[in-house]
Structure 1
Amino acid sequence: MIYQEEHSVAAKSGGCFPGGAWVTLEDGGQRLIQELQPGERVLASSGSDGSGELVYSEVLTFLDRDPATRKEFYTIRTEGGVSLSLTAAHLLFVSEGNCSEGAEPTPGSMRTVYASDVRPGQCVLTTVSGEGVGKGEEGRKGVGHLSRISRVSVQEDKGVFAPLTRHGTLSVNGMVASCYAVVDGHDLAHRAFAPLRLLHRWTGSAGGHFGDTGVHWYSQLLYWIGSLLLDSGHFHPWGLADPGR
């Protein structure tokens, strides 16, 4: 059973991964998400639907960070062997219908859904590694490749970490995901975080200590503003369960 309280906390963050999840660094190495530091560049997608060219995007801050807590995560597994765990309200890029394993996505074919709404048979974008990003013939960069979801399960894991990159995307465990959660679209969330990116560009800081535990103040502010201005249909159903937290 997944408790509503846990869903509410997860929804009001920028989306969470467990501490044991890993990302790909610019040198091609891998690092646990709980060990990331500000200024490091991780593999991400430049496209607003996840299907853009792969880039290395700077980590600005954590939108949520709690190494000790235990949460329940939706674990997405693909036919290609990639597995990623996310909290219920986290946004993931998927496509519907037929897809060939390893094929490149067609423009406009991807959309974001909450992790709790992901279903077997949908396709996600995967990245084997960062090797070749920014290289290749005629300077062409790599892109994510489609892989069909074979199973979705729910399991408990330790730690919640929500890194925010400059592009608003990142590849975690070899799967392209949004940095955002709670609202029903990646584009809307990315626009809402533009002031925080601008603050970081001007000051070199995202307005908080990188090692702080808990939900980032800007995420809390956006949640409060959004709950006043947007219809509840724009939010994950568990996101409004406990607006006081």
Structure 2
Amino acid sequence: MVTRDSGVKYIEDVEIGDEVQVISPDGSVDYSEVWCHGHYDLNSTNTYLEVTTQTHVLPISHRHYLPVAANSTIIYKMAQNVQIGDYLLTLGDDNEQSLEMVKHVKEIGCRGAFAPVTKSGEILVNGIRVSCYSEVYPPLAHILLAPLRIAYDIIPKAIMDFFLSYKSQAVPYVTDIAQLYSESIGLTW
């Protein structure tokens, strides 16, 4: 991942407050602040997918969403539903965006579980545009988390540090808050 202040960082080294490279809605390359982690676990061993395009390789959890180009529009697919022949949005070393065809998808074993969440809801990982969200459809997840993103900006850091700290299984307390909020408006996870 590319950060504004530190350049290239491994995903496990990205911290809350880092600004990481994203592709903004207007298509320009920009940076978005990491305001929480959906998962942060250095020690777990997991089965992921390795999605390979012409020039990029992305390890990703099965239920994490990817924006996929389809008929001049973007749709979101869980990684487990991405197929050979799908087109992903990529960013080259020259900061040029392109669509690259998925050439190969296979399962791999990986150490750790990391899911930094940016204010924009998207992130670039290994040059591939990825949603920050899994399990919940990204546009909906982004709307549901809006009150917490606002809280991150206005509530004192010491208080937010508690809500953004991790409970069991490397999932932050903020996940419980988001789930309670969703259920209060009639949505279930």
What is the TM-score normalised by the length of structure 2? 0.86
Per the alignment, in what secondary structure is the counterpart of residue 152 of structure 2?
Answer: helix
Deviations 1:70-126 (A, max 9, x none): 1110111002x20101111101010236xxxxxxxx5xx111110111101000011
**Match for 2:75 among 79, 89, 111?**
111
Match of 2:8? 30
After TM superposition, list the pairs within 5 Å mapping 1:50-65 onto structure 2.
Answer: 52-65=27-40
Per the alignment, in what secondary structure is the counterpart of residue 39 of structure 1?
Answer: coil
After TM superposition, list the pairs within 5 Å mapping 1:1-245 onto structure 2.
Answer: 23-27=1-5, 29-47=7-25, 52-79=27-54, 81-96=55-70, 106=72, 109-129=73-93, 144-183=97-136, 185-203=137-155, 205=157, 207-208=160-161, 212=166, 214-223=170-179, 226=182, 229-230=186-187
Q: Distance in 2 between matches of 1:158 and 1:204?
A: 33
Distance 1:227 1:116, change over 3 A: farther
Query: Which structure shows the higher strand fraction?
Result: 2
Distance 1:223 1:75, change over 3 A: farther
Are the aligned partners of 1:45 and 1:55 in contact in 2 as well (CA < 8 Å)? yes
How large is the RMSD of aligned CA atoms in angstroms?
2.4
Q: Distance in 2 between matches of 1:119 and 1:204?
A: 44
Counterpart amino acid of residue 119 in structure 1: Q
Are the aligned partners of 2:144 and 2:182 in contact in 1 as well (CA < 8 Å)? no
Distance 1:204 1:30, change over 3 A: farther
Paired positions, count: 184
Counterpart amino acid of residue 55 in structure 1: D
Deviations 1:167-208 (A, max 9, x none): 11110011010101112x221111011011101110254833
Gaps of 5+ in 1: 1-22, 98-105, 133-141, 236-245
Q: Displacement of 1:222 after TM fit?
A: 2.9
Per the alignment, in what secondary structure is the counterpart of residue 110 of structure 1?
Answer: strand
Match of 1:18? none
Q: Displacement of 1:227 after TM fit?
A: 6.3
Deviations 1:37-59 (A, max 9, x none): 22211101222xxx732211111
Gaps of 5+ in 2: none
Are the aligned partners of 2:5 and 2:19 in contact in 1 as well (CA < 8 Å)? no
Are the aligned partners of 1:45 and 1:167 in contact in 2 as well (CA < 8 Å)? no
Per the alignment, in what secondary structure is the counterpart of residue 181 of structure 1?
Answer: coil
Q: Displacement of 1:35 after TM fit?
A: 0.9
Q: Displacement of 1:28 after TM fit?
A: 7.5
Are the aligned partners of 1:73 and 1:157 in contact in 2 as well (CA < 8 Å)? yes
Are the aligned partners of 1:78 and 1:147 in contact in 2 as well (CA < 8 Å)? yes
Relative contact order, CA 8 A, sep 6+: which one is greater?
1
